[in-house]
Copies of this chain bind each other. A is one copy, B any other.
Amino acid sequence: MNTGKLKRLRAAGWKAGSAGEFLGLSDQEAALVELKLALVAAVREARRKHGLSQTDLAQRMRSSQSRVAKIETGDQSVSLDLIVRALFAAGATRLELQRALSTVA
């Protein structure tokens, strides 16, 4: 077996670390979830701003109405990629994307 690799991994450890640096994975995942929620809100806003229905947006993304609904309701099966694609397809600009990120708690 490859114990050498394990040793190297252990030796490498978690560098750059004061105690506070030892952030749990859950914190990172919480940040990602909050980020997604902020963008999801931006999608709905951008879509309505441009007078599009979910079906309209779905066509622009080459997706389906049900998937757009899942995007906007924060369904856990929806990736960040899809959210951002929806945002652009809904006519949001990069600046609006940045602005949406500012609203993250």
Contact = CB atoms under 8 A, between A and B. Distances in A.
Interface of A: 5, 8-9, 12-16, 21, 24-25, 27-29, 31-32, 35, 50-53, 55-56, 59-62, 79-81, 84-85, 88-89, 91, 94, 97-98, 101-102, 104
Contacts of A21: 60, 91
One complex includes copies of this chain to the number of 2
A59 B16 contact: yes
A9 B62 contact: no
B102 A31 contact: no
28 contacts: A5-B51, A8-B50, A8-B55, A9-B56, A12-B50, A12-B59, A13-B56, A14-B52, A14-B56, A14-B91, A15-B52, A15-B56, A21-B91, A25-B61, A25-B62, A28-B85, A29-B85, A31-B88, A31-B94, A32-B85, A32-B88, A35-B84, A94-B101, A94-B104, A98-B98, A98-B101, A98-B102, A101-B101
